[in-house]
Structure formats: C-alpha cells, structure tokens
A and B are shown apart, each in its own frame.
Chain A
Amino acid sequence: KAGVTQTPRYLIKTRGQQVTLSCSPISGHRSVSWYQQTPGQGLQFLFEYFSETQRNKGNFPGRFSGRQFSNSRSEMNVSTLELGDSALYLCASRKTHYNEQFFGPGTRLTVL
C-alpha cells in the first residue's frame, strides 16, 4: 500500500507570495492533518480535515488555510508569506479521527 505523498518536496518562495502544498493520503484514509515543524517551535498542529470538513484547528493565523477534496486529497495554502513561515510542512492521514496517524515526508518551504 502506498504511503502518504506530499508535493512538492522542496519549495522556495519570497516574502509576500502565496503557496499551495498538496497531500495525497493513504488509500481509504478519510482524515488528513497538517503540521508545521520548525527548529524553534517543534511540531505544531495546523488543522485536520475529515470528509471535506475542517474538524480541528490549531493556533495559526488566518493566512494558513486548507481544504479537502472528495477523494480525500488535501491542499494547504499560505498567503502573504513571511520569513517565519520557513518550515517543514507535514501531512498525516488516518482512517478515521480515532486511529493512529501516518505521516508523509513533508514539504520543505523556504521563504526568502
């Protein structure tokens, strides 16, 4: 069974731009969560989607948004990028919101 895939793996943007990251969950998994990982703050929860609805949300500004499609694939968007948004963005999927999560390899975003 294929694991969680994230595209692109690496991305370089400049301040003020916007970016869209994509996540394809494991087949049959209906829940997708997004996390931001930085050396200073560690792994921080962004939001979770289940059946196209946002179910949980972390403490991030409105510049961070996401959505989930009917095939469970998810996208995360960050608008008006700031230098502090440079991070590894991880996506995780699970069958339901009560199961263990399976993480993808992440997208490394660098904001210049």
Chain B
Amino acid sequence: DAKTTQPNSMESNEEEPVHLPCNHSTISGTDYIHWYRQLPSQGPEYVIHGLTSNVNNRMASLAIAEDRKSSTLILHRATLRDAAVYYCILSYLNQAGTALIFGKGTTLSVSS
C-alpha cells in the first residue's frame, strides 16, 4: 500500500494560515488523497479529499502537486479549535471500494 510521510508536529499562531505538508511519492493513479483530523478525546473528523485538482471547502483547501507526489492542507486562518492531529491518507481502490490506511499524522499546536 502507498504510504504517506508527514512531519510529527507543527506550531502556528491564531489567525495565521497553516500549511500542513504530506509526501506520498509512491501514490498510484487511482489513489485519492484524504485528510482527516482528530481533536483531543474525539474520533477522527473528515476534512477534505482530492484526486488531481486543488480542492476547497468550508474547512480547508487541498493543494496537490502536479506529479501528485505531495500535497498540502491549508487552513486559511488557524483558530485554537484547529489544534489536533492531522492525518494525510491515501485511499486505495479495490473491488470492495476504498479503504483508509492512517499514518502517524502531524500534531498541530495553535497559540493565541
């Protein structure tokens, strides 16, 4: 299965943009790039996903490199509530659908 590499931790200040990087050099053509986050004492929460083009939603933006070997999750204005572990995941497609393989994630700290 294709793997992702993320920094263990990152720090940000409140109301500043945050760019969370993810490397996935062995990504295949059918792998989607997903981002989930896990707030303290909660289950993971879906953030965004994409295949080739950049994606935007109310929570974040996803910038995907042209060769798809890396991507960046962008939080436009970090808040204290954005402090969480962010997981970059490749979902592989098989006959049964798509399965998510989580890595270690990046712990984001946000300071006021």
**A residues whose Cβ falls under 8 Å from a Cβ of B:** 4, 31, 33, 35, 42-45, 48, 50, 55-56, 90, 92, 96-98, 100-106
Contacts and interface: CB of A to CB of B under 8 A. Distances in A.
Contacts of B87: 43
B43 A106 contact: yes
13 contacts: A31-B97, A42-B104, A43-B87, A45-B101, A50-B96, A56-B97, A90-B44, A96-B97, A100-B34, A100-B46, A103-B44, A103-B45, A104-B43
Interface of B: 34, 36, 42-46, 49, 87, 94, 96-105
Contact of B97 (A42, A45, A50, A104): A50
A90 B43 contact: yes
Given A43-B87, A102-B46, 8 more contacts: A33-B100, A42-B102, A48-B99, A50-B97, A97-B96, A98-B98, A103-B42, A103-B44
A97 B98 contact: yes
Contacts, number: 53
B97 A55 contact: yes
Given A55-B96, A100-B34, A45 B102 contact: yes
